[in-house]
Amino acid sequence: MERGMMKRQYRDVVVWDAERTAAERCDVITEGDRITSILPAGTLDSGCAYEGRGKMALIPGFVNAHGHAAMTLLRGLGEELPLMEWLQERIWPVENGLDGDLVKAGTKLAILEMLSTGTTCFADMYFFMDRVAEAALECGMRCGLSRGIVGDSDGSKLKENLKLADDFNGRDGLINVQLGPHAPYTVPMELMKEIANTAKDTGLGVQLHWLETSSEWSISGLEGKMTPEDYLAETGMIDVPNLLLAHCVWIRPQESAFYARDNVTFAHNPKSNLKLGSGIAPLPAYLKAGVRVALGTDGAASNNRLDIWDELRFAALTQKGVNKDPTLVASAEALRMATVNGAIGLGFRDVGLIKEGYRADMILIDLDQPHYVGWDCENLSGFLVYAGSSSDVKGTVVAGKMLYQDGDFVFADRKRITEEAAEARRKLTAR
Amino acid sequence: MERGMMKRQYRDVVVWDAERTAAERCDVITEGDRITSILPAGTLDSGCAYEGRGKMALIPGFVNAHGHAAMTLLRGLGEELPLMEWLQERIWPVENGLDGDLVKAGTKLAILEMLSTGTTCFADMYFFMDRVAEAALECGMRCGLSRGIVGDSDGSKLKENLKLADDFNGRDGLINVQLGPHAPYTVPMELMKEIANTAKDTGLGVQLHWLETSSEWSISGLEGKMTPEDYLAETGMIDVPNLLLAHCVWIRPQESAFYARDNVTFAHNPKSNLKLGSGIAPLPAYLKAGVRVALGTDGAASNNRLDIWDELRFAALTQKGVNKDPTLVASAEALRMATVNGAIGLGFRDVGLIKEGYRADMILIDLDQPHYVGWDCENLSGFLVYAGSSSDVKGTVVAGKMLYQDGDFVFADRKRITEEAAEARRKLTAR
């Protein structure tokens, strides 16, 4: 252990993660950015530790596996419009006014919201990504970042994405950089092949929008020429080191098995898919086939919260109702999606579990509240997913540091960030 | 105005209700349990008033139009089981152990949760309803109460329901009593007719479960004999003074117009219907036909939150996704469902709007938060429904009294109520 490395102790907390069938009261020690010891509850002396009194859950922080953080600045613009009208008349014109400073301001606003709702790591595909990286590093937040690549006839965006990797991949142990081809209908097939080859050469992961709307495949001009699965095979995308496919609403259920591979993760965005009228993903088929599925919020303009508790609840409940089967998408499965699955999808293989040697990305949840009456170590995951909410989060720890505690941001100036974002919003929407 | 009547002032709050197209900064005065003046913001002197600084919304309190409050004690029992197994093996055996004290303890726990999430009035159909009434009166909460009538070969439950009305209808201006025939499949048709006649004679409203599951009509033995609409006509139910139909998942959309009557309200319970696998109500058809639709949580065992913000979001988003149409169920419409529509459904014709002469049932919502950056008076309803959450509620006012403020319950002992409920839960589940 490095000398002077920060050590923190959590005493008598109720530990749960996706590898446990039941929760367990434990003492947990972190040193630097790692979890180093998990001991029986009460082993540690009181006084020198955060005290959970058996009424504070400690679970892995949530991973928001798909989003566009700076879109917090576009929240609420053009609600309830048909998709193309919304994009063409309300979103794109405003997005065109974004610059690096505005993107950084919007990203910091997003980080406030994510930290306070228990998210410790987020995926981002947008532009001015160096400024997104700055924002994340300044706040101490973990993330997987990609430069959204659209068109790109001169290759400048792919170059920018590779520069992002050169500059920020692995920085402070917090950032993984992915390549970000936007979607099959916005990226020419030859470029998609080039990006897949680049990913294989560099070892970088890929973030890709995948079959979000029912018309997407026909818009891409590929319908009738090849299946989506053939396309992934032919471009080489299916073989890149780490492929994170966002949305996945319109994969044919019978093709699910094709995607059940260790290098592939789906980012399921239930609320965004509902709000935009995109549809409802056949999630039970994916899970049954063994696909690794994570959860994401998408951007705040189409959600409109960056709150994984909402996604947990929508993922778990919607499928039960649509399929008229209350046994589908159990709470523990939803929590697995929201934690370790998203971490793997972003290339963090040591994030998302409360386990010795894993990164100390964790949240503290206050169980001493009216809506938790009746919880026990066997039923905790159900109470969290069905009865809990983001306001139960009393602490958010990223890489061993408590970044949010009891309503306060430890390394971020809430007032200043909020005011700067409000000013950015005014600028953007005044144009 | 009665002498000595309590007067309260709210200065520079952002007022919205379902009758306004845009929000407006106002000063609001309440006297006793009524809203008496709505003035331009800044008319009142500061110092003697609650200060909103133009950053605190004041909207009508939410009405939870269907539920079984004391089921907070059954929360989390038997998650993710098929419906009949859940009811027969986990819920009914425990419910059989309920007594008046336990029901009161569970109801108070429910009231804590509802007040803290902005609900000012709740519907309840359960048993030991006199104890539910006591709990509500002790907490100062508005409600519509009915004794759930099942079977009832000796008429004792209807008698009990009428005694509830004698004892509590109109008490403290807070309670309306309804008759509570459970459902067509649990109440003989002759008794249903008798209850309809009793409602007409007494002027009492009726709460009735209606077509919650797809098999309900066939279970009732009525399939092939008459349509659900014929049944309501033949029993006389459709003509009772105030008919609140809970769930309404399986009404045929083309029959919607039949229900568009001033004396009929639907209580839509989107989360419970999803969680139990009951299905998804054709809400857009109901709204298009002009049916008055309210929102409810159902009991905490099948939701598992008593939080209308969740219902708002599920009501608004689910229909957009299922119908692949982002224009459906606009935010203002969802808020109308959550406020004035529920109030009318429970027979309170002067509740649910911020209007002079209306009862002062209101909530204060803190807009000075990261996720509200970008709100304005035109888009407030969208921010509330899509970006807001129950943790934004900073004050809950019922009948002019601030019952919950900044995390504290003014007339309820949170610690004692929670401990008593926990003890009640232990007793119930130990049997």
Contact B321 A277 (CB under 8 A): yes
Which A positions 209-228 lie with beta carbon below 8 A of chain B? 214
| Distance (Å, whole) CA B366 – CA B59 | 11
In the three-class reduction of DSSP (H, G, I as helix; E, B as strand; rest coil), residue B248 is classed as coil
Cβ contact A272:A232 at 8 Å: no
- A383 to chain B, any CB pair closer than 8 A? The answer is yes
Structure letter (DSSP) for residue B61:
P
What domains sit in chain A, N to C, each tagged with a CATH number?
Answer: 7-61+356-406 (2.30.40.10), 70-345 (3.20.20.140)
* pLDDT over 80 at B71, yes or no: yes
Please give, rounded to a whole number of angstroms, the shortest distance from the CA of B90 to a CA of chain A.
14
> What span, in angstroms and rounded, lies between the C-alpha atoms of B12 and B24?
9
Average pLDDT over residues A206-211: 98
Q: In this complex, is the C-beta atom of B40 within 8 Å of any C-beta atom belonging to chain A?
A: no
A351 vs A343: CA distance, rounded Å: 6
pLDDT tens figures, B354-394: 999 999 999 999 999 999 999 999 999 999 999 999 999 99
Q: Is A24 on the interface with B (CB under 8 A)?
A: no
Spell out which residues of chain A touch residue B271, defining contact as CB-CB under 8 Å. Answer: 313, 317
Asked if residue B319 lies in contact with residue B330, where contact means CB atoms within 8 angstroms, the answer is no
CB contact (8 A) between residue A75 and residue B318 = no
Candidates A82, A318, A369; nearest CB to B318: A318
Pick from A370, A390, A425: CB nearest B389: A390
Contact B371 A75 (CB under 8 A): yes
Distance between CA atoms of A315 and A268, rounded to whole angstroms?
8
Q: pLDDT tier at B309 (50, 70, 90 boundaries)?
A: very high
Q: How far is A331 from chain B (nearest CA, A)?
A: 9
Distance separating alpha carbons of residues A405 and A338, to the nearest angstrom:
21
Interchain CB contact of A88 with B (< 8 Å):
no
- Exposure class string for A110-144: b at 16+ Cβ within 10 A, else e: bbbbbbbbbbbbbbbbbbbbbbbbbbbeebbbbbb
Candidates B80, B214, B387; nearest CB to A75: B387
When CB atoms are compared, the residue of A318, A383, A391 closest to B274 is A318
- Encode pLDDT of B117-145 as tens digits: 999 999 999 999 999 999 999 999 999 99
Which of B116, B171, B169 lies closest to B412, judged by CA?
B116
Q: Measured between alpha carbons, how far is A292 from A340 in angstroms, rounded to an integer?
A: 10
pLDDT of residue A431: 64
pTM equals: 0.97
Dist CA A56 CA A375 (whole Å): 12
Q: CB distance B278–A324 less than 8 Å?
A: yes
Cα separation, B223 vs B239, in Å, equals 22
- Chain B positions touching A427 (Cβ under 8 A) are none
A374 contact B CB<8A: yes
| B222 φ, ψ (degrees, to nearest 5) | -100, -15
3-state secondary structure B295-335: ECCCCHHHCCCCCHHHHHHHHHHHHHHHCCCCCCCCHHHHH
Q: Is B415 on the interface with A (CB under 8 A)?
A: no
**Chain position carrying tokens 């005014």:** A426
B285: tokens are 């058809």
Mutate one of A268, A280, A313, A317 to test the B interface: name it (highest B CB count within 10 A). Answer: A317
Q: Is B118 on the interface with A (CB under 8 A)?
A: no
Average pLDDT value for chain A: 96
Q: Which residues pair with A366 in a beta bridge?
A: A56
Please report which residue ranges of B140-277 form alpha helices under DSSP H: 156-168, 189-202, 216-219, 228-235, 270-275
Task: Give A 331-370 residues with CB within 8 A of chain B.
Answer: 331, 368-370
How high is the pLDDT of residue A135? 98
CB pair distance less than 8 Å for B113 and A76: no
pLDDT tens per residue across span B245-286: 999 999 999 999 999 999 999 999 999 999 999 999 999 999
**Is the CB of residue B119 less than 8 Å away from at least one CB of chain A?**
no
- When pLDDT is averaged across residues A244-273 and rounded to a whole number, the result is 98
**Cα–Cα nearest to B250, from B337, B320, B154, B183:** B183
Residue A205 Cα to chain centre, angstroms = 15
B104 phi and psi angles, rounded to 5 deg: -65, -40
Provide mean pLDDT across the span A172-186.
97
| Chain B interface includes A379 (CB < 8 A) | yes
Tell me the count of A-B CB pairs closer than 8 A: 213
pLDDT at A3: 55
Closest by Cβ to B305, choosing from A306, A387, A425: A387
**What is the pLDDT at residue B125?**
98
Query: What is the spatial distance between Cα B193 and Cα B409, in angstroms, rounded to a whole number?
Result: 43
d(CA B265, CA B123) in angstroms, rounded, equals 13
* Tokens coding B269: 């319970």
CB of B310 within 8 Å of a chain A CB? The answer is: yes
Put simply, the answer to whether A322 touches B280 (Cβ < 8 Å) is yes
* Per-residue pLDDT at B152 exceeds 90: no
Q: Is B271 on the interface with A (CB under 8 A)?
A: yes
* Residue of chain B whose Cα is closest to the Cα of A425: B374
Residues 6+ positions from B30 with CB-CB distance below 8 Å: B7, B8, B10, B36, B360, B397, B400
- Contact status of A22 with chain B (Cβ, < 8 Å): no
Identity of residue A28? V
Structure confidence at residue B353 as a pLDDT band (50, 70, 90): very high
Cross-chain residue pair A321–B371, CB shorter than 8 Å: no
Predicted local distance difference test score (pLDDT) of residue A318: 98
pLDDT tens-digit profile of A312-359? 999 999 999 999 999 999 999 999 999 999 999 999 999 999 999 999
Interchain CB contact of A409 with B (< 8 Å): no
Q: Is B278 on the interface with A (CB under 8 A)?
A: yes
Cis ω for the linkage preceding B242 (within 30 of 0): no
pLDDT band at B1 (very low <50, low <70, confident <90, very high): very low
CA dihedral A318→A323→A326→A328, nearest 10 degrees, is -80
**E strand residue ranges, A236-344:** 243-247, 264-268, 292-295
End-to-end CA distance of chain B: 53
**C-alpha span between B308 and B246 (Å, rounded):** 15
B86 in contact with A at a CB cutoff of 8 Å? yes
ipTM: 0.97
pLDDT of residue B121: 99
Distance CA A27, CA A103 (A): 40
Rounded percentage of chain B residues whose pLDDT exceeds 90: 94
Provide the β-strand partners of residue A121.
A63, A142
Q: Please report, in angstroms and rounded to a whole number, the separation of the first and last CA atoms in chain A.
A: 53
Q: Which helix (H) or strand (E) holds A11?
A: strand A7-15
**Lowest mean pLDDT segment, chosen from A59-63, A153-157, B318-322:** A153-157
pLDDT at A1: 43
**How does pLDDT run across A390-424, given as a tens digit for each residue?**
999 999 999 999 999 999 999 899 999 999 999 99
Gap between the Cα atoms of B383 and A304, Å rounded: 8
CA distance A359 to chain B (A): 28
> Residue B51, class by beta-carbon neighbours within 10 Å (0-12 exposed, 13-18 middle, 19+ buried)?
middle
Residues in chain B: 431
